[in-house]
Chains A and B, each alone.
Chain A
Amino acid sequence: MGALEAVILTIITASTPLLLAAIGELVVERSGVLNLGVEGMMVMGAVCGFAVSYSTGSPYLGVLAAIAAGVFMSLLFGFLTLTLVANQVATGLALTLLGLGLSGLIGESFVGLPGVKLTALAIPGLSQIPFIGPILFGQDILVYASFALVAAVSYVMFKTRTGLIIRAIGDNHTSAHALGYGVIPVRYACVMFGGACAGLSGGYLSLAYTPQWIENMTGGRGWIALALVVFSTWLPKRVAIGAYLFGAVWIMGLYVQAAGVGIPSQFLSSLPYLVTIVALVIISGNKTLSRVNTPACIGQSFVPDR
């Protein structure tokens, strides 16, 4: 295996959790809901995925548990913001605080235990292709899922009626409601999809990236995923590009650190967060780029009149 190939493989592992969480949040935001609780759903996915896979020995059951945990958390968010029309920003923060606390409590007895690693599923034949093979076809199931999700979200959002309805609700919920679309049910569905993706992303961290449970192991990835959605200007393909760029920055920091260059490790560790800020500034500074695709109703509550 060549050096470049190895680097690309590690970049993909670092990018996948960002990509999974961001593609879910993109759908949520396209429907006009801002769920800032990605970090909380993600960390719950990580702990539940680990706990179930450790107890049953099956990483696939762990993946399912991670998804379930993410969906459960997202339903809490949905109930508060969609049914009780609570402030979305505040509720998202609450979701993150609750998720970080609850995961710490649940995961306490699992700290330091060896996890069950999700093994790679090489696709026979295709994975033998030099260079491209191991990168595209020698991954674990969650990496394939991330590829598939980007393609699926991109297709559904822009080529189907469902996508049109979601975007209509995100851009003008009053008109969409007047046309007879169920604003609240559609938003519930999108929020749950976002929760499932965030949970899956957390599961990837505790089952594939580093198969163990460490408190707060998401390390701000949920927030970076949120920034990625802004960075992508709400376009799925750009989410993928952004996620791989961020993954590359993350890995670059590790490589420079390992090379023993005289830069303090703390500076390299803070690089992803600084890059996020720079990326946000560049995209937000460009008004045409950021305004065109921003869902017009994002963050606004909707109460249907009867």
Chain B
Amino acid sequence: MVQATLSSNWVRMTTRVLTMSLLAFAIFGPITNMLLWAVAEVWYFPYKLPLEYGFSFWERVFRPEGNATEALFSSIWIALLTVVVSLAIAIPAGYALARGKMPFRYLIMLLFLLPQAFPAVAVHMNVARIFYGLDLTGTVMGVVLVHASQGLVFAVWIATAAFAAVDGELEAAARNMGAGRWRTFIDVTLPLALPGIMASAIFVFLISMDEFTGTYFVGAPDVVTLPMLLFTSSMEGNYQIASISSLILLVPSVGFMLFIERFLKADVLAKVGS
């Protein structure tokens, strides 16, 4: 009996350790590979590890005339504009969806999901065609609009949750003190919803930083973002440049995780999409 419990404990322990290790490998394996490539100077088959280490590729990426720096800055610029465009729609839409007694509320929220619902390539090819007629292909604005169309569903859903989590009685108290609707929104509603709005802004920023298909169809070859550079350099077998670009793309994602963990309360997260 004791023997049996011991052995079953042992089996449970082993499976747990194995699962954990597999999971860790699945998560950290590719990242380790990427880290190695980022600092490898010379590495070819059949060697398991790089032959020479160094930072010369980093220098190349961050060289002022290097196209990586340019791609990084255009990525950040596009991402910031995408955030502005998305929030300009998400804040009023989120407030209206959270507070107003709107008919077809769910339908409207699902509407923002539509760009995600169809195959990305098909959607973006047609977007590119329409944008061509509007002289938007190859422009930063065109890329921003494509990115915003993808980020909007999250921006609106998260903003709606953030506004819904603000107790209506807090707004009522401001009105009672003599504040009009607009003043109440600025003084009470917006500051209280701000963590959620910030989260949606960061989320949209991340989506824009990572976006590839839409940028490719609408922006190429005039607008080059980091993911596009990453794509071309891996196609050319230039794994160092690709790895360094990926590492740069990793920074905002990690920052977002930390932000969510630190500032976003469970009551906001629970209301996302409802």
Q: Do A and B interact with each other, yes or no?
A: no
A: which residues have CB within 8 A of B?
none
